[in-house]
Amino acid sequence: MGNPKSPRRIRLSTNPTPQALAELRLGDIVYLDGTIYTAREGVYKRALEDNANIPMELPSESAANFHCSPAAAIGEDGSYNMGAVTATASFRFSKWIGPWMEKSGAKLIIGKGGMTVQDYRDYFVPNGAIYLTTVGYGTGALLGRGVKRVKTVHWNKELGLAQAMWVLEVENMGPFIVESDLAGNSLFERENTKISANLDKVYEGTKPATLKRFGETDDKSDEMIG
Amino acid sequence: MIAIDLIQQTAEVLMDKAAIEIPQDYLDGLQKAAELEDGDLSSFVLQAMLENYEAAKQDRRAMCGDTGTPRWYVKMGNEAQIEGGPVALEAALRRATANSTNGVPLRPNRVHPLWRTDHDNNVGIGAPEIEYGYEPQGEWLDLITVHKGGLFGTDYRMLFPSDGIEGIKRFYLDCLVAFGKRGLACQPAIIGIGLGGCKDTSMVLGKRAACLRIVGDRNSDPKIAELEDEFKELGNSIGMGAMGFVGKSMVIDCNIEVGYCHTGGMQMSVHAFCLSSRRAVARIFKDGRVEYRTDPNWFTDYQRRETVEWETPKAHAESA
């Protein structure tokens, strides 16, 4: 049994300065202060493909885009009941993320599982943005505690609760882990490379299936999200 | 006769418990894994999860914001009678699902696959799923709700007898490695494996092995029980931990269920229940008593029977 080291913990604004972003290292633990908004496929399609006007001032109101649908309800009186908050897997939004960053000025993309290094180099690096991953996954109750209040919900009627744009005031919201840096390096990719080195040994005593499938790979270092 | 109001009321309590309270067997398993974990990042993740379970209970808020796709397993003793019959029962479970989605609150995940219509209540065509099982004796009704995550960590493959254990191991590792990268499977998890049956039953068996059996439980066939131990160890030897970071905690437990299959095939499915392992169970008796628990105790000898006729063993009759 080893003795694991505790990672570095950092408080970060949801409108971070370039210097603050430059100081972040892969694997740092981040807690956020300010305002974040949720936007995923519904918002991206509406804003980028249907060219609807984004109902917020971006990035001045917030430069932090959360890939998330909260476990929340809106009461008949318009009040909000915010429960747990957990991210959804970001790789599915690759086709929109570049145009979205250009349009919104987002500097922090927060989600589950990161995106490909290709996405980081093509979209994140030119826009001076980084990726923060949620932890677990499923520290929804801890993240929910970091939400001080729901400021407003945009496009609920058009997109439904899960896809609507939730604008959240947050304080010390976390933990998140720095997955990509300003140079476009990826923590997940670094870890995958280390793990892949051991896989041939793990697979000893197994054999490939008799009946193959289209597109099958036997290269265990392949990523699934590309 | 079991009162329909009591069924709905109990179902709503179960929805709340499943979303908020981590089952003790899984919590114990995760704590053990956290003690053994020496990867810096994996270890941090497991500690954060342990804090998260506490926060959820203290605040009475869902453990995870993705509250999965709520479903129901209903088991009845052979002599159980439901007020209003099975149609009333299904209506009560649909009402409880809708009410709790807004009450807990849960995320309204369920949408139409093509039109993406969202009723904001997790109810729609075929949702929530309601599955049934029966036991030879008893006047009780078991309600089990499972809120399994819906997107990653599950796969199916048609293997053949010639693939053997080596082929089973290969597909098992393929699933863990593929979905374990970047933590898409939300590991460490209870892994369920379904072997045999037909394609659909293989999937059902694997899902039930993951969701309806607890950590530490072993298949009643001693040779399958040995495989479960071996597969747990194999999964934890990959070198991958929580979120796909370097580590050694991938599998909290591995449960295998089998069903008789076509003589030429060996169907296999793999399912990963997530870090929140949301399940809650209640037994409702006809006198109105309700007993809550977290072990579904689904796979009884009767569920695994292989004979034409069934005679309840005397020793089991009392507890069934």
ipTM of the complex: 0.93
* Chain A residues with beta carbon closer than 8 angstroms to that of B272: none
Q: Do B36 and A1 touch (CB under 8 A)?
A: yes
Give the phi and the psi of residue B30 in degrees, each rounded to 5. -70, -40
Give the residue with greater pLDDT, B48 vs A5.
Answer: B48
The per-residue pLDDT for range B73-94, each reduced to its tens digit, is 999 999 999 999 999 999 999 9
Q: How far is A36 from chain B (nearest CA, A)?
A: 16
Contact assessment for residue A124 and residue A130, using Cβ atoms and an 8 Å cutoff? yes
On whether both B259 and B298 belong to a single domain, the answer is: no
* Chain B residues with beta carbon closer than 8 angstroms to that of A28: none
Q: B82: which 2 tokens?
A: 């439901």
- Residue pointed to by tokens 């052979």: B78
On whether both B124 and B168 belong to a single domain, the answer is: no
Residue A114 maps to which CATH number? 3.20.130.10
Structural domains in chain B (count)? 2
Q: B173: which 2 tokens?
A: 């590792």
**Would you call B123 an interface residue with chain A, using a CB distance cutoff of 8 Å?**
no
**Would you call B66 an interface residue with chain A, using a CB distance cutoff of 8 Å?**
yes
* Chain B residues with beta carbon closer than 8 angstroms to that of A147: none
Is residue A132 pLDDT above 90, yes or no? Answer: yes
For residues B24-40, average pLDDT = 97
Does A209 map to a domain?
A: no
On whether both B223 and B291 belong to a single domain, the answer is: no
The per-residue pLDDT for range A74-106, each reduced to its tens digit, is 999 999 998 899 899 999 999 999 999 999 999
- pLDDT at position A70 is 84
Does B50 map to a domain?
A: no
Q: Do B105 and A191 touch (CB under 8 A)?
A: no
What is the percent of chain B with per-residue pLDDT over 90, rounded to a whole number?
94
**B 4-43 near A (Cβ less than 8 A):** 19, 35-43
Q: Do B237 and A202 touch (CB under 8 A)?
A: yes
* Chain B residues with beta carbon closer than 8 angstroms to that of A191: 41, 244-246
Among B39, B151, B239, beta carbon nearest to A89: B151
* Chain B residues with beta carbon closer than 8 angstroms to that of A29: 44
Amino acid at B28: D
The per-residue pLDDT for range A194-218, each reduced to its tens digit, is 999 999 999 999 999 999 999 888 8
Does A19 map to a domain?
A: yes
Is residue B110 pLDDT above 70, yes or no? Answer: yes
- pLDDT confidence tier of residue A170, bands split at 50, 70 and 90: very high
For residues B309-315, average pLDDT = 80
Among B36, B107, B186, beta carbon nearest to A71: B107
Does A2 map to a domain?
A: no
Does A135 map to a domain?
A: yes
Does A220 map to a domain?
A: no
Does A217 map to a domain?
A: no
Q: For the packed helices B24-36 and B40-59, what is the interaxial angle rounded to 10 degrees? A: 150
Contact assessment for residue B280 and residue B21, using Cβ atoms and an 8 Å cutoff? yes
Contact assessment for residue A66 and residue A35, using Cβ atoms and an 8 Å cutoff? no
Does B42 map to a domain?
A: no
Give the residue with greater pLDDT, A2 vs B247.
Answer: B247
Q: Do A83 and B109 touch (CB under 8 A)?
A: no
On whether both B163 and B175 belong to a single domain, the answer is: yes
Q: Do B61 and A207 touch (CB under 8 A)?
A: no
* Domain enclosing residue B307, as ranges: 4-17+63-149+279-317
Please give the DSSP secondary-structure letter assigned to residue B127. Answer: B
On whether both B194 and B250 belong to a single domain, the answer is: yes
The per-residue pLDDT for range B275-286, each reduced to its tens digit, is 999 999 999 999
On whether both B122 and B180 belong to a single domain, the answer is: no
Is residue B319 pLDDT above 60, yes or no? Answer: no
Identify the CA nearest to B63 among candidates A167, A142, A172. A142
Q: How far is A85 from chain B (nearest CA, A)?
A: 4
- Residue pointed to by tokens 């078991």: B142
- pLDDT at position B6 is 98
Identify the CA nearest to B186 among candidates B17, B311, B63, B28. B63
Please confirm whether the linkage preceding B188 is cis (ω < 30° from 0). yes
On whether both B140 and B171 belong to a single domain, the answer is: no
On whether both B289 and B214 belong to a single domain, the answer is: no
The per-residue pLDDT for range B146-177, each reduced to its tens digit, is 999 878 889 999 999 999 999 999 999 999 99
On whether both B220 and B166 belong to a single domain, the answer is: yes
Is residue B317 pLDDT above 70, yes or no? Answer: no
For residues A56-65, average pLDDT = 97
Among A140, A192, A224, beta carbon nearest to B62: A140
Does B257 map to a domain?
A: yes
Does B53 map to a domain?
A: no
* Chain B residues with beta carbon closer than 8 angstroms to that of A88: 66
* Chain A residues with beta carbon closer than 8 angstroms to that of B111: 160, 162
**Minimal-distance CA residue of chain A relative to B161:** A210
Is residue A64 pLDDT above 60, yes or no? Answer: yes
Average pLDDT, rounded, for chain B: 96
Does A93 map to a domain?
A: yes
pTM for the model stands at 0.94
Is residue B320 pLDDT above 70, yes or no? Answer: no
Q: How far is B26 from chain A (nearest CA, A)?
A: 15
Q: Do B49 and A7 touch (CB under 8 A)?
A: no
Is residue A1 pLDDT above 60, yes or no? Answer: no
On whether both B80 and B101 belong to a single domain, the answer is: yes
Is residue A51 pLDDT above 60, yes or no? Answer: yes
On whether both B297 and B160 belong to a single domain, the answer is: no
**Minimal-distance CA residue of chain B relative to A188:** B182
**Minimal-distance CA residue of chain B relative to A191:** B245
Does A198 map to a domain?
A: no
Among A29, A177, A223, beta carbon nearest to B181: A223
Does B106 map to a domain?
A: yes
* Domain enclosing residue A173, as ranges: 9-188
On whether both B144 and B156 belong to a single domain, the answer is: no
- pLDDT confidence tier of residue B313, bands split at 50, 70 and 90: confident
Structural domains in chain A (count)? 1
- pLDDT at position B83 is 98
- pLDDT at position B74 is 98
